[in-house]
Amino acid sequence: MTQAPLFRRVALVGIGLIGSSLARALRRHGLAEHIVCATRTEQSAQTACALGLVDQAFTTVGPACDGADLVMLCTPVSTYADLTPHLAPMLQPGCIVSDVGSVKQLVVRDVAPLLPAGVHLVPGHPIAGTEHSGPEAGFAELFEGRWCILTPVPGTNQAAIDRITRLWQTCGSSVEIMEPAHHDKVLAITSHLPHLIAYTIVGTAVDLEDDIKAEVIKFSASGFRDFTRIAASDPVMWRDVFLNNRDAVLEMVQRLTEDLAALQRAIRWGEGDKLERLFTRTREIRRSIIEARQAYGPFPPTQTSVATPTRETDNAGD
Amino acid sequence: MTQAPLFRRVALVGIGLIGSSLARALRRHGLAEHIVCATRTEQSAQTACALGLVDQAFTTVGPACDGADLVMLCTPVSTYADLTPHLAPMLQPGCIVSDVGSVKQLVVRDVAPLLPAGVHLVPGHPIAGTEHSGPEAGFAELFEGRWCILTPVPGTNQAAIDRITRLWQTCGSSVEIMEPAHHDKVLAITSHLPHLIAYTIVGTAVDLEDDIKAEVIKFSASGFRDFTRIAASDPVMWRDVFLNNRDAVLEMVQRLTEDLAALQRAIRWGEGDKLERLFTRTREIRRSIIEARQAYGPFPPTQTSVATPTRETDNAGD
């Protein structure tokens, strides 16, 4: 390293999929002199040390944050309100508090009021994840080529925003700044609703008679399998997302329900033109996504042959 | 070739994604002496010949089927009733008629009564596809490692069933025999409902205000993108599937709607335990699918690094 690390002491609160991936990325890119974590159980503290993710692991949040110049909350968002009173007294002026949660208005509501003067809050949301959980599931490349959305309120210290921006950029992400409420609305449709629907459809299948259920698993490659991957994401994290982005999620569910009822009616009454028109419109959205380089288009057959197994990191659990 | 090909003259009616993939696979594995196709337009007939998919291409179905010992219907299922009267008079006793459609009761209803005595009907459904359409989109490996379901009615000539079984096995598929009604029920939940929901959710997003819509595309990797792939599948084919498997699809939509309403209510009333319980149950289904080798489990990080682009063949359009 020819440069000083971006942070002297990073305290990761929570060392699951995202926390442990960040620990690995911080190390790989030399972004922190010391990395410590706080985690609920002695066992995961030991795992974090054994995997070499952190220099020190604590089972209480206060000592972990003592002397940190960056505290990164990587626990389910519902824990923020309880955790913040324990860590706030340990923070020195100039310290940055950030997070990786999927809901952002809540951070402004639950965390901001409890922080001492001179501590900078820069809420963040890396749009990255897999359906796997725990410190073993993380990997340093998780954030490469992905978006990270930051939602600082107006008046936030610009140097603090810049440092968090540099952190995520060094981890390979593109950074976007957004209003917290706008973030929650956009994510309600791009992420929260798809996850809710995936959980629902897989739940519907679980309740089918046993003979059908076995075949649902057997023939899952016909569309259902994709949903099971999304519906295998961390239950506690997603419970928290839905409860804490309730209004935006419920509005999207309401819109979806209306649209589904219209489709249902078109099927019942044999309105083929209506179905075909909708299915043609949705195809165009896929093209826009491919043009925006957020998905892969068709490849010439010679390059592809049979699909090789790759880590399925692209869409679950974020 | 040390063995005679399985078929003398195969007539593919329709040369889109599935028809053209089958043509390529038939050639690669030496399964047919001659391959011809019937297609609606002069242009796709020329494409089929230019790509070397077939020995001859017709724009009318009768001459294409003349003298064939296998006629494979690869057009949207709603066309079967219109096509069959044109091809039936050309068929000799011993000829096999099969198809690749996603709905199977309809084949027994629309095709069987119109076939001459001595012609064997063996309806089939390869569980394979991509979101791309047309003769250029096909590739010979499409059926490798996939299921193909056959739904012959009781009393069907066993030798005919065996030949169609051998055809799909040689193309790399595992063959399963099933009652037509049971097929339509299983596929309603594993394939038709997921596609319907994907079309709905992408349609809901299309209707959002323009400023949100741009960001839906930008941040689609957070879950939404998977749905857009499924919702990019062939509009006419899927229109037909929903109209022709109406009862089973509507029953599954009804179940889903009830389950979604329950989830919606749990979110509105903050019933976190109920959400977490459901999300934990759905996670188990994913494990069953991984155990059944219908999906990949977690890989050790060293093998994976960044996901490489692969052809996304696994779940759309079948």
Give me the residue spans of the domains in chain B: 7-179, 183-295
Of A100, A49, A50, the closest CA to residue A79 belongs to A100
What is the rounded end-to-end Cα distance, in angstroms, of chain A?
A: 32
Neighbouring CB atoms inside 10 A of A16's CB total 25
Q: Do B141 and A305 touch (CB under 8 A)?
A: yes
Higher pLDDT among residues B200 and B316, named by residue: B200
Task: Tell which A residues from 215 to 254 touch B, by Cβ distance under 8 Å.
Answer: 215-233, 235-236, 238-240, 242-243, 246, 249-250, 252-253
Residue B287 has what pLDDT?
Answer: 83
Cα A229 to Cα A145, A256, A287, A311, B308, distances in angstroms:
21, 21, 23, 12, 18
Nearest chain A alpha carbon to B290: A217
Interface mutation target, options A148, A258, A286, A291, chain B, most CBs of B under 10 Å: A286
Which residues in B lie closer than 8 A to residue A192 (C-beta atoms)?
223
CB pairs under 8 A between A and B: 375
B153 in contact with A at a CB cutoff of 8 Å? no
Fill in the amino acid letter for A66.
D
Query: Which of A139, A216, A279 faces B190 most closely, judged by CB atoms?
Result: A216
**CATH of segment(s) A7-178:** 3.40.50.720
Q: Tens of pLDDT along A148-200?
A: 999 999 999 999 999 999 999 999 999 999 999 999 999 999 999 999 999 99
Residue A226 has pLDDT above 90, yes or no: no
- CB burial of residue B41 (10 Å; 0-12, 13-18, 19+): exposed
Q: In sequence order, which residues have a C-beta less than 8 Å from that of residue A264 and are 6 or more positions away?
A: B250, B253, B257
Q: Do B223 and A230 touch (CB under 8 A)?
A: yes
Map tokens 């949040």 to a residue. A61
Of A119, A189, A181, the closest CA to residue A149 belongs to A181
Q: Tens of pLDDT along A2-46?
A: 578 999 999 999 999 999 999 999 999 999 999 999 999 999 999
Of A294, A298, A285, the closest CA to residue A314 belongs to A294
- Find out if CATH 1.10.3660.10 is the number for domain B183-295: yes
Neighbouring CB atoms inside 10 A of B93's CB total 9
Question: Percentage of residues in chain A with pLDDT exceeding 90?
Answer: 76
Residue B294 has what pLDDT?
Answer: 64
Map tokens 């690390």 to a residue. A5
Residue B311 has what pLDDT?
Answer: 35
Asked if B142 and B151 touch (Cβ cutoff 8 Å), the reply is no
Q: Which class is A183-294 in CATH?
A: mainly alpha
Q: Specify the fold of B7-179.
A: Rossmann fold (3.40.50)
Question: Percentage of residues in chain B with pLDDT exceeding 70?
Answer: 91
- Mean pLDDT throughout A124-130? 93
pLDDT band at residue B164 using 50, 70 and 90 as cut-offs: very high
Residue A90 has pLDDT above 60, yes or no: yes
Residue B298 has what pLDDT?
Answer: 46
Q: Do A307 and B312 touch (CB under 8 A)?
A: yes
pLDDT band at residue A293 using 50, 70 and 90 as cut-offs: low
Residue B296 has what pLDDT?
Answer: 53
Which residues in B lie closer than 8 A to residue A207 (C-beta atoms)?
255, 259
pLDDT band at residue B130 using 50, 70 and 90 as cut-offs: confident
CA distance B164 to B268: 53
pTM higher than the cut 0.90? no
**Which helix (H) or strand (E) segment is B144 a member of?**
none
Residues in chain B: 318
Residue B93 has pLDDT above 70, yes or no: yes
B305 in contact with A at a CB cutoff of 8 Å? yes
B179 in contact with A at a CB cutoff of 8 Å? no
Query: Which of A146, A216, A286 faces B232 most closely, judged by CB atoms?
Result: A286
> What mean pLDDT, rounded, does chain A reach?
89
What is the rounded end-to-end Cα distance, in angstroms, of chain B?
A: 32
Residue A317 has what pLDDT?
Answer: 41
A124-126 and A147-150: which strand pairing?
antiparallel
Strand order in the sheet with B7-13: B56-58, B32-38, B7-13, B70-73, B96-99, B120-122
Interface mutation target, options B282, B312, B313, chain A, most CBs of A under 10 Å: B282
pLDDT band at residue B75 using 50, 70 and 90 as cut-offs: very high
CA distance B178 to B151: 5
Asked whether this chain's domains A7-178 and A183-294 adopt the same fold, the reply is no
Q: Do A190 and B224 touch (CB under 8 A)?
A: yes
Q: Tens of pLDDT along A238-255?
A: 999 999 999 999 999 999
Neighbouring CB atoms inside 10 A of A133's CB total 20
Neighbouring CB atoms inside 10 A of A25's CB total 24
Q: How far is B32 from chain A (nearest CA, A)?
A: 22
Residue B175 has what pLDDT?
Answer: 97
Tokens representing residue B140 in the block:
């010979």
Tokens representing residue B189 in the block:
């939940």
CA distance A236 to A130: 15
Which residues in A lie closer than 8 A to residue B239 (C-beta atoms)?
272, 275-276, 279
Q: How far is A192 from chain B (nearest CA, A)?
A: 8
Q: Do B205 and A189 touch (CB under 8 A)?
A: yes
